[in-house]
């Protein structure tokens, strides 16, 4: 069953749980409980924990088979069960449930309704599938392609075309703005054609730095390492890192600039590089937070999207600096 689960982001624990579990009453003795388990164990698979409830089915504790077997036969279940237990609410998102499993190292967690009544059990084996699918979804968003539900190998040519073309066309039209930026500076370019030499190098660097930030941020948000409230802390750190990265890359590109265009060009490309890397990094770092705020998946901040945005700002920064500096 778990293999056939559809990849949808709003799936709940209720769709993942099994109804195969054994319940014990608090007042059972260990002996009674063992007999109860023996009677029911044959019909069921995957029984590692037993769930203890009151008359009204309210879940009050759990007990592993191992603990039951190791206990004195005359004790009451209430005396040996674990009272402080983890529960999942039936409408919890499966992705959140996966986090609980990762944090607790449990193999199964009971599912309760809003009143605390036991209604099912989620097993960790099914969480493996959830985790794999969540990560695959994030990779696809970062590709970026629309959700491919049945794997790449068996996807038809038409499916692949349909899932890929949307983002590609959106990006083409975004890149028209870069073109418009270039057109705006046609005079500057015509009188200093050497500037074109550095265009891909400079605009790509902004996109690359931005892609790094975005990808790190998307993953950290997906595994819960970073939350929306961490934005300011991350932004401040990103500024310092980006300045250091920009200066290093500016030195690299200035040496190339000296050879290809002389001192003036070297200064222009170095200045541009610092600014482009800072702006690109901050865009890449912020976009996942913005998407999260807008209740979109942060993973939508894909490298190609960041690259396109960085291209537009890069073109403007580059030729503005060039126009200003070369007219001095």
- The contact mask relative to its own copies for 215-244 (x = CB under 8 A, - = no) is xxxxxx--x-xx---x---x--x--xx--x
Which of 62, 94, 307, 313 is the binder for its own copies (CB under 8 A)?
307
Asked if 313 touches its own copies (CB under 8 A), the answer is: no
Binding to its own copies (CB under 8 A): which residues in 176-215? Answer: 176, 178-180, 182-183, 186, 189-190, 193, 196-201, 203-205, 207-209, 211-212, 215
Asked if 105 touches its own copies (CB under 8 A), the answer is: yes
Binding to its own copies (CB under 8 A): which residues in 28-57? Answer: 34, 37-38, 41-42, 44-48
Which of 5, 54, 65, 290 is the binder for its own copies (CB under 8 A)?
65
Q: Which is nearer to its own copies, 14 or 304 (CB)?
A: 304
Beta-bridge mates of residue 82: 62
Q: Please tell me the distance from the alpha carbon of residue 242 to that of residue 314, in angstroms, as a whole number.
A: 15
| Contact between residue 112 and residue 88 where contact means Cβ atoms under 8 Å apart | yes
Pairing of strands 118-123, 88-89: unpaired
> Using a CB cutoff of 8 Å and minimum separation of 24, what contacts does 290-297 make?
292/221, 292/228, 293/228, 297/9, 297/137, 297/138, 297/141
Q: Please tell me the distance from the alpha carbon of residue 38 to that of residue 30, in angstroms, as a whole number.
A: 12
Asked if 127 touches its own copies (CB under 8 A), the answer is: yes
Q: Which is nearer to its own copies, 112 or 270 (CB)?
A: 270
All residues at 6 or more sequence positions from 146 whose CB lies less than 8 Å from its CB, including other chains: 140, 162, 163, 164, 166, 167
Asked if 92 touches its own copies (CB under 8 A), the answer is: no
Strands across the sheet containing 23-25: 23-25, 49-53, 59-64
Q: Please tell me the distance from the alpha carbon of residue 294 to that of residue 283, in angstroms, as a whole number.
A: 16
Binding to its own copies (CB under 8 A): which residues in 3-32? Answer: none
Asked if 60 touches its own copies (CB under 8 A), the answer is: no
Asked if 325 touches its own copies (CB under 8 A), the answer is: no
Minimum distance of its own copies from residue 241's CB (angstroms): 5
- The contact mask relative to its own copies for 263-302 (x = CB under 8 A, - = no) is --------------x------------------------x
Residue 47, both tokens: 């029984």
């Amino acid at each position: 069953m778990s293999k056939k689960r559809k990849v949808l982001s709003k799936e709940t624990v209720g769709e993942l749980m099994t109804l195969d579990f054994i319940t014990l009453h608090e007042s059972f003795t260990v002996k009674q409980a063992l007999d109860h388990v023996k009677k029911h164990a044959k019909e069921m698979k995957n029984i590692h924990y037993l769930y203890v409830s009151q008359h009204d089915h309210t879940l009050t504790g759990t007990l592993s088979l191992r603990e039951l077997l190791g206990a004195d036969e005359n004790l009451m279940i209430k005396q040996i069960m674990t009272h402080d237990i983890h529960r999942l609410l039936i409408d919890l998102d499966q992705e959140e449930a996966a986090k609980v499993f990762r944090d607790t190292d449990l193999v199964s967690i009971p599912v309760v309704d809003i009143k605390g009544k036991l209604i099912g059990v989620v097993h960790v084996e099914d969480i493996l599938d959830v985790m794999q699918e969540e990560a695959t979804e994030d990779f696809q968003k970062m590709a970026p392609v629309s959700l491919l539900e049945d794997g790449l190998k068996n996807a038809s040519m038409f499916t692949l075309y349909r899932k890929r073309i949307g983002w590609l066309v959106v990006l083409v039209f975004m890149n028209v703005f870069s073109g418009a930026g270039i057109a705006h500076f046609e005079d500057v370019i015509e009188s200093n054609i050497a500037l074109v030499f550095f265009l891909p190098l400079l605009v790509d660097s902004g996109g690359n730095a931005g892609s790094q930030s975005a990808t790190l941020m998307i993953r950290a948000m997906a595994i819960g390492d970073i939350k929306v409230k961490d934005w300011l802390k991350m932004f401040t750190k990103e500024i310092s890192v980006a300045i250091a990265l920009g200066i290093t890359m500016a030195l690299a590109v200035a040496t190339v600039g000296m050879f290809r265009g002389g001192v003036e060009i070297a200064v222009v490309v170095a200045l541009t590089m610092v600014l482009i890397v800072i702006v690109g990094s901050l865009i890449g770092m912020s976009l996942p937070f913005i998407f999260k705020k807008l209740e979109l998946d942060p993973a939508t901040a894909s490298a190609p999207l960041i690259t396109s945005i960085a291209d537009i700002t890069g073109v403007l920064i580059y030729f503005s600096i060039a126009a200003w500096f070369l007219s001095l």
